[in-house]
Homo-oligomer: A and B are copies of this chain.
Amino acid sequence: MFNFGVDYYPEQWPQDRWAIDARLMAEAGFNVVRLAEFAWVKMEPADGRFDFSWLDEAISVLAAHGIRVILGTPTASPPAWIMAKHPAAFRVREDGVRVTYGNRREYCPNNPTYQDYSRRIVQAMADHFTSQPAVIGWQIDNEFGDRCYCPVCLKAFQNWLSEHYASLDSLNEKWGTIFWSHTYSNWSEIPTPATTGHSPNPSLALDYYRFCSDSYVAYQQTQIDILRERCPQHFITHNLMGFGYDKINYFDLARHLDFVSWDNYRRTQWNLQADVDPARAALDADTMRGLKSKNFWVMEQQGGSGGWEIVSVAPRPGELRLWAYQSIAHGADGILFFRWRTARYGTEQYWHGLLDHDATPGRRYQEIKQMGAELKVIGVRLLSSTVKASVAMLLAYDSRFALQIQANNPDLRYSTHFSQIYHALHDLNVPIDIIAPTDDLSRYKLIIAPLLHVVTPQIAANLESFVVKGGTLLTGPRSGVKDETNVVVNMRLPGLLRSMVGVDVTEYDSLTPGMNQALHFVLPELEGCAGNAEVWCDVLEPSGAETVAVYTANYYAGKPAITLNHFGSGKAIYVGTLGDGSLHASLMPWLLRIANVDQNFRAPSGVEITERWQGDKRLVFILNHTDTQQEVQLHGTPTNLFTNAVENADPLILQPKAVLVLEM
């Protein structure tokens, strides 16, 4: 049975509605719900007084319809009675202002009082629900995030530093605090990098960002420990926020979870485009799969327009189902829609669920009900199947944090550059893993390391070993610039990567938009290819590498912009500039070729093809993200799993927003 369900808030609706909801859920094919992650005050209405009776009742109503339950620990949003009693538990923003009550995530994760309350409610829930058979697992808190700059965090940071550095002298030396006379003579003198001090020491700032990430990881661990002990039979997860969220090291946060969950929204208040980019959703999903190199759940799959004060563009007919299948195509083993019914009150009145405020089952409910019926047919075929990739991109949180602190150029953004490269690969319908720079690379043929700004000796050795053994590596500007403490290396760039890529960066130019320029490809097999240099130009001096492309303007016209180095049995490509889309479109097919990566599918723009393997059985997902009919040419005689019929694939005709799941 494929895990298919919805996020439900029985506490927000009259109890006599619960059975109707449960029936409609079952009719939609749902077999799992998430409950209670914002219901702290309902479970602990006063200090130390617990009441789970209403939740028992809700669970039994759902269970009666064959629906299992994931429970959220409710610590993302504390009751007013806690915060009124303990105002020091409120988070302090980067600008020094302490937040006030009335939203959620207002707590400081390092506050000991808040931690005490958190532990107590989690213990009480665990003790109560460990014996409830409908409960199958736990979600901890909700969408961890937001750095805190309060005095408790300051003290905790100073302690964290004293544990991470051999001595204060060592910290002073490694951070270079002699600059501007910042040398600390006592741990207690070390500040946070709050904006009230502006432009902090980059080493201090990077450590603070790591500390903030560690703080949430540690806070989560206190809850994991309780649940592991009391509910060993239940799984534990947390709902993360895809590729885009960049303030927690998600590899660390995922480490002690059983699997990763995440929240998948394509149309929200903060993303108001008329058209949705399918590659971005694919990147999110691949990132989530990569955190533990295993399948994941979508704990919140979009169920309607998303917005708080602003209503997003409405999901078009077919989109909700298409996006849910896209999640599965990239590795989801569970899909829960957010949320069942749109809230009539509170901040999220316009974050629409499958049902509208008035509970009428409408277009959205019917669309998902169709999917529920389909999954009853094909769900079993998806179990234990996985995505297999021979290409990986390295997601490096240290580098990402470091570039938040020093962007290098106003238009240099880690996520934008990473996404652009991902997009060019995704257009070729090649499976991609998103992994950490320290992960095992031996499974892959091609590794792409964008903006690998902070390079440790361990990372450098990992990459060299990969290339020496025959792998192909792509990296580029602003890589190898920093050591682990965010200090510029005392060597020619790209620093520790220099011998592997076989080039020296002798100079660099940081461009304004008007200074963009075309590249000229000199490698014969790339003759005629196009591509522009943008944002940044490294001026390269090969020390063994051959030149792939050269600059055509500025005082470094004619000098190498892209090089290829043979290193051991492998190849290292260095792209000295942040290119535009045309550059990546030119480079990616060539890279796949020289790395011997098969490109199995060709599809028109907007049609996505990806695979999951169930043992040696190959399940192919074909997703038409466009509003028009499309054609795809496949080889062989695939079986349509929805219909169990053999498809005529010469060509395959795809209706707008169509989803096909084929066995090849």
CA distance A106 to B199 in the complex (A): 12
A548 at the binding interface (Cβ < 8 Å): no
Closest partner residue, chain B, to A342 (CB atom): B488
In the complex, the answer to whether B345 meets A511 with C-beta atoms within 8 Å is no
CA distance A102 to B175 in the complex (A): 12
A316 at the binding interface (Cβ < 8 Å): yes
Q: Which residues of B contact A74 (CB under 8 A)?
A: 181
Q: Which of A229-237, A432-440, A501-509, A601-609 contacts B (4 or more CB under 8 A)?
A: A501-509
Interface residues of A in 164-199 (CB under 8 A from B): 175-186, 188-194, 196-199
Known A185-B80, A360-B492, A488-B345; contact A12-B178, beta-carbon cutoff 8 A: yes
Q: Which residues of B contact A506 (CB under 8 A)?
A: 362-363
Instruction: Tell which of A102, A175, A198, A348 has the most Cβ of chain B within 10 Å.
Output: A102
Q: Which of A132-140, A252-260, A307-315, A637-645 contacts B (4 or more CB under 8 A)?
A: A307-315
Closest partner residue, chain B, to A149 (CB atom): B100
A104 at the binding interface (Cβ < 8 Å): yes
CA distance A636 to B311 in the complex (A): 54
Interface residues of A in 459-515 (CB under 8 A from B): 485, 487-492, 506-512, 514-515
Known A102-B191, A197-B106, A507-B363; contact A176-B345, beta-carbon cutoff 8 A: yes
Q: Which residues of B contact A11 (CB under 8 A)?
A: 178
Q: Which of these, B38, B189, B491, B492, contacts A84 with CB under 8 Å?
A: B189
Closest partner residue, chain B, to A80 (CB atom): B189
Chain A 69-92 per-residue mask, 1 if CB under 8 angstroms from chain B, else 0 = 000001001111100100000000
In the complex, the answer to whether A410 meets B189 with C-beta atoms within 8 Å is no
In the complex, the answer to whether B273 meets A81 with C-beta atoms within 8 Å is no
CA distance A409 to B305 in the complex (A): 12
Closest partner residue, chain B, to A304 (CB atom): B507
Q: Which of these, B100, B106, B362, B405, contacts A96 with CB under 8 Å?
A: B100
CA distance A12 to B273 in the complex (A): 50
CB distance from A375 to the nearest CB of B (A): 25
Chain A 95-107 per-residue mask, 1 if CB under 8 angstroms from chain B, else 0 = 1111111111010
Known A41-B181, A347-B179; contact A310-B193, beta-carbon cutoff 8 A: no
CA distance A197 to B80 in the complex (A): 13
CA distance A95 to B46 in the complex (A): 30
CB distance from A527 to the nearest CB of B (A): 30
Q: Which of A200-208, A209-217, A277-285 contacts B (4 or more CB under 8 A)?
A: A200-208
A159 at the binding interface (Cβ < 8 Å): no
In the complex, the answer to whether B489 meets A410 with C-beta atoms within 8 Å is no
A350 at the binding interface (Cβ < 8 Å): yes
Known A185-B81, A186-B81; contact A310-B103, beta-carbon cutoff 8 A: no
Question: Count the A residues whose beta carbon is within 8 Å of the partner chain — how many?
Answer: 108
CB distance from A117 to the nearest CB of B (A): 12
CB distance from A47 to the nearest CB of B (A): 9
A349 at the binding interface (Cβ < 8 Å): yes
In the complex, the answer to whether B410 meets A204 with C-beta atoms within 8 Å is no
Q: Which residues of B contact A488 (CB under 8 A)?
A: 342-345, 349, 357
Known A183-B42, A186-B81; contact A515-B100, beta-carbon cutoff 8 A: no
Q: Which of these, B80, B191, B358, contacts A490 with CB under 8 Å?
A: B358
Q: Which residues of B contact A514 (CB under 8 A)?
A: 274
In the complex, the answer to whether A183 meets B80 with C-beta atoms within 8 Å is yes
In the complex, the answer to whether A102 meets B41 with C-beta atoms within 8 Å is no
CB distance from A401 to the nearest CB of B (A): 13
A408 at the binding interface (Cβ < 8 Å): yes
In the complex, the answer to whether A42 meets B181 with C-beta atoms within 8 Å is yes
Secondary structure of the A side of the interface? loop
Q: Which residues of B contact A198 (CB under 8 A)?
A: 99, 102-103
Q: Which of these, B101, B182, B342, contacts A102 with CB under 8 Å?
A: B182
In the complex, the answer to whether A357 meets B489 with C-beta atoms within 8 Å is yes
In the complex, the answer to whether B408 meets A199 with C-beta atoms within 8 Å is no
Instruction: Tell which of A77, A199, A343 has the most Cβ of chain B within 10 Å.
Output: A199
CA distance A56 to B503 in the complex (A): 41
A659 at the binding interface (Cβ < 8 Å): no
Q: Which residues of B contact A244 (CB under 8 A)?
A: none
In the complex, the answer to whether B515 meets A313 with C-beta atoms within 8 Å is yes
In the complex, the answer to whether B179 meets A38 with C-beta atoms within 8 Å is yes
Closest partner residue, chain B, to A83 (CB atom): B189
Interface residues of A in 298-349 (CB under 8 A from B): 305, 307-314, 316-317, 342-349
Closest partner residue, chain B, to A76 (CB atom): B180
In the complex, the answer to whether B510 meets A310 with C-beta atoms within 8 Å is yes
Closest partner residue, chain B, to A104 (CB atom): B180
In the complex, the answer to whether A203 meets B347 with C-beta atoms within 8 Å is no
A406 at the binding interface (Cβ < 8 Å): yes
CA distance A359 to B488 in the complex (A): 12
CA distance A258 to B408 in the complex (A): 39
Known A77-B180, A200-B102, A346-B176; contact A490-B185, beta-carbon cutoff 8 A: no
A112 at the binding interface (Cβ < 8 Å): no
Q: Which of these, B84, B305, B492, contacts A358 with CB under 8 Å?
A: B492
In the complex, the answer to whether A308 meets B406 with C-beta atoms within 8 Å is yes
In the complex, the answer to whether B308 meets A186 with C-beta atoms within 8 Å is no
CB distance from A294 to the nearest CB of B (A): 32
Instruction: Tell which of A99, A193, A357 has the most Cβ of chain B within 10 Å.
Output: A357
Closest partner residue, chain B, to A84 (CB atom): B189
CB distance from A368 to the nearest CB of B (A): 15
CA distance A79 to B176 in the complex (A): 14
In the complex, the answer to whether B410 meets A310 with C-beta atoms within 8 Å is yes
CA distance A425 to B382 in the complex (A): 62
Beyond A272-B512, A363-B507, list 19 extra A-B contacts (CB 8 Å): A79-B183, A95-B97, A96-B97, A102-B194, A102-B197, A102-B198, A102-B200, A103-B200, A104-B180, A176-B343, A179-B346, A203-B345, A309-B408, A311-B408, A313-B515, A343-B488, A349-B406, A358-B489, A358-B492
Show 8 A/B contacts (Cβ-Cβ < 8 Å), sorted by A.
A95-B97, A97-B196, A102-B194, A310-B409, A314-B510, A344-B487, A360-B492, A363-B507
